[in-house]
Amino acid sequence: MLNLCVFLDIMVKSRHFEEMLTGAFDGVLGLLVRVGRSLPVAVKMMIPKAWQNDKNMNPQRKALYEYCSALMEPWDGHLLMVGTLEPHCTETDCSQVGSMLLTVGGLCLDHEALKQQCSLARSLASGLRIKRLNSKKLWDLLIYLHGLALPSLGCQSIIPTAAVNHLTTATVTHHHSTVTMATKKGCDPNGIFSGMVFFLIDNGVQRRRLQIWKQKLTQMGAILEEEEQDTLSPKVTHLLATDSSSLQLKFSPKILRRFKGVILLYQWLEDSLKLGEKVNEESYRIQFNDNFADGPKSKSVDKRQKTSPTPNNSQSSKSTEKHESSSRINPIGALDASLPYHPPDLNANITQIFGKLINIYRALGDDRRSFSYYKAIPVIERLPFKIESVDQVKDLPAIGKSMQDHIHEIVTTGKLSKLEHFESDEKVRTISLFGEVWGVGPATALKLYERGHRNLDDLKNDATLTNSQQLGLKYFEDIRTRIPRDEVQEMERLLQRAAEDVLPGVSVVCGGSFRRGKATCGDMDIIITHPDGKSHIGFLTKYVKHLKDMNFLREDLVFSIHSEQGTNFGVDTYFGLCTYPGRELRHRIDLKVYPKDIYTFGLIHWTGNDVVNRRLRILAEHKGFRLDDTGLFPATHSSGGKKVSASTSLKFNSEKEVFEFLGFPWLEPHERNI
C-alpha cells in the first residue's frame, strides 16, 4: 500500500514531481478527480493513514503530515481510497470516524482547538527546509487547500483558496461493488453568526489567519462581502479590523461615517470563537474621533485594547488606580441578564475553582450553594480585566461577602482552602465522584459511600444499582465526553429525517447548549411537537423503535408515555444513549414530545440556561403564577390558605410572548448563556 509516507520518500529521492512512479500518488489523485472529487478533497483522502502511530518517523516530516491533516475537518466516512504500486485502487476499512486525525497516542482530534494545537505543535517550515520539498506542484496543493503564502520558503506562486465546498455524496464502483463516500458537513444555517454580513480588513493580518477566520465565519452561518472599488456594500453589518489605523489605510473617513454597521476589533471574533457564542460587541468597538479626518498622521484610540489585562492601559498607572478605573469604565448593572460579554478566561484562575465547587455541592445535594457559584461564574467571566483586588468586584451582582472572601484568597494565594479541604476529604471526594454517574443522586451517592465503596470499580459489584445506574457506570467516560457542535448538528438532521419518516410534518429541535450556540455539548435535548395538536399522541413509541432499527438509539434509561392517557399534561419522555453514525462512543440524549399548546414552554425550559429559567420562574411567582416546562399557571389559594396552581396554563404562541408577559428582556437562544 502506498501512502503519503512512501509518496514523500519517492519525491525526496526524485528531483521532480512528474518523475514519480506510475500509479503512485499522482495517479490516484487523477483517478479521484475523474470520479468527481475536487483536488483538495482528493488530497484529504490520500493523507489519513500517512503518519499515525509511526514511532520511527522523522519529527520534521511528521510535522508536515500533522499540518496537512490537523487543519482539516474530521473525515466522515467509513471507507478510504488509497493508492498502491499496482495500477488500481482499493479501499480500506476506517474503524472510527475521524481516524484521519488519529495521533501517535491514538487520540481522535475532532475538535477545532485540538486540531489547531496539533497543527502548531511542530515547525512545518523546518521540516520542509530539511527535506527540501520544493516541488511547485506540492506547494500548489498546499496553497490551494489552505490559502497559504509561504514566500520565506521560496514559494511565490499563490493560488486563491477555492470554494472547497463540502463533500457531496458520490459513488465509486470498484470490483463490482459500490463504495459510497460520506458527506462532509455544510455550513450551519443556525450558527452563531447567522444573518450577519462581514467585511474583513486584511491590513495587519497574516494571510493564513485571515483564511481561518473566513472559514470559521462561513461555517457558522456568516456571509462574507468582498471589496468593491474601495467602497462598503450596504449589506455589510460588521466590519472587522486589527485597529483604527488599519481602517484609516483601507477606507476614507467619509465612507466610514456613512457606514451604518458595527466596526469591531478582530479580538471580538477570536473571543466569540473561543467561547462558542457571540460575545457582546460594545467593548470591542473601534471608535475614531474628528481628528481621524486629518489623515494618517492623526492618532486614533481604540476603545478597547487587548494588550493589557486592565482597562487602564497607561503603564505609569498604579495598581490601585487600575482597580478603580476598572469599575468606572465598565459599570455593571444589577440585572446581569443585560451584562455585556467581555473576553473570556481573564479570570480562569477563579472560575475554574468555582466550577469545581459547583460539582461538589451538587453531589452533596446542596443546590443553594451550588447555584450561588453557578451565578457568579458568568459575572466574573465577563470582566474585561484580570482581578487583582477584591475591591474590584465588591459592587458586582452575585458576588456577596462569601464570594468576595473566596476571590481575595484566590488572588492573594493562588488557591482556595475550602476546595483543598473538600478534595482532601475522602468522603466528599468519593461522593462527588459517584454523583457524576448518570442516575446517581446525592442520597444514593452517600449510601454507596456508607456501604464501603470508594471508587467506580467498587460500584460494578453493587447489586443495588438500577439498570439505568449500571448503564451510567458502564459508559461513565463516554457520557462525560463533550460532543462537537458539527456532530450534534448532523445528528439533529438525522433525527429530523427519521421523525419525518414516522410522522410527516413533525417538528424536531435540538435545544440545550446546542440551541444556545455553544461549540460543544454535554448531551442532546430534543424537543418535539406536531402543529396539528393531536398527531403527537403515540408518536414517541414508534419513533424510538425506528431510531433503534437505525442503530442510533442503543440503550434505554427512562421511557414514560403520557400522551395516550392524558397524564402529566400529555408529555412523553425518553432518556437514553445514542451513538454518532459509525462510532460506538455513547452520548446522552433526551427526547421530549409536547402537545402543541404547551410546546413553547418546553422549548424555553430545554433551551436554558439554568439562570434564565430560574429568573423566569421568579418573575412568574412575583406575578402570581407558576412556570415550568408544561405551562404558566395562575396561582390560587386553597381553603386551607396554601398556594396552589390552576390546572390550565395560559396560552402563548411564541417564546417571545412569554418573555414579554413576564417582563423579562427578550433574549435570542444564543443570548441565553448568562
Please, where are the H alpha helices in 590-638?
599-607, 610-622
Q: What is the grid cell recorded at 628? A: 415550568
Amino acid identity, residue 602?
G
Provide CB contacts within 8 A for 130, sequence distance 6+.
58, 60
| 631 C-beta neighbours (distance < 10 Å), count | 22
Q: What is the grid cell recorded at 299? A: 492618532
Q: What angle do CA 100, 205, 269 make, to 5 degrees?
A: 70
Whether 119 and 64 have beta carbons less than 8 Å apart is answered as no
Beta bridge partners of 199: 239
Amino acid identity, residue 82?
V
- Rg value, the chain, Cα: 28
234, 147, 172: which is closest to 199 by C-alpha?
Answer: 234
459, 440, 416: which is closest to 364 by C-alpha?
Answer: 440
Distance CA(654)–CA(650), nearest Å, equals 12
Torsion of CA 115, 119, 122, 128, to 10 degrees: 160
Whether 380 and 387 have beta carbons less than 8 Å apart is answered as yes
Whether 628 and 616 have beta carbons less than 8 Å apart is answered as no
Distance CA(4)–CA(9), nearest Å, equals 8
Distance CA(139)–CA(337), nearest Å, equals 50
Distance CA(45)–CA(167), nearest Å, equals 11
Which candidate in 111, 238, 406, 605 is catalytic? 406
* Interaxial angle between packed helices 485-502 and 539-549, expressed in degrees from 0 to 180 and rounded to the nearest 10: 120
539, 286, 412, 206: which is closest to 547 by C-alpha?
Answer: 539
Whether 509 and 526 have beta carbons less than 8 Å apart is answered as yes
310 DSSP 8-state letter: S
Whether 512 and 607 have beta carbons less than 8 Å apart is answered as yes
Whether 182 and 78 have beta carbons less than 8 Å apart is answered as yes
Whether 365 and 302 have beta carbons less than 8 Å apart is answered as no
Amino acid identity, residue 455?
N
| 443 C-beta neighbours (distance < 10 Å), count | 9
CB half-sphere exposure, 552, CA atoms < 13 A: 18
| 51 C-beta neighbours (distance < 10 Å), count | 23
Q: Is 406 an annotated catalytic residue?
A: yes
Task: Give me the active site residues, please.
Answer: 406
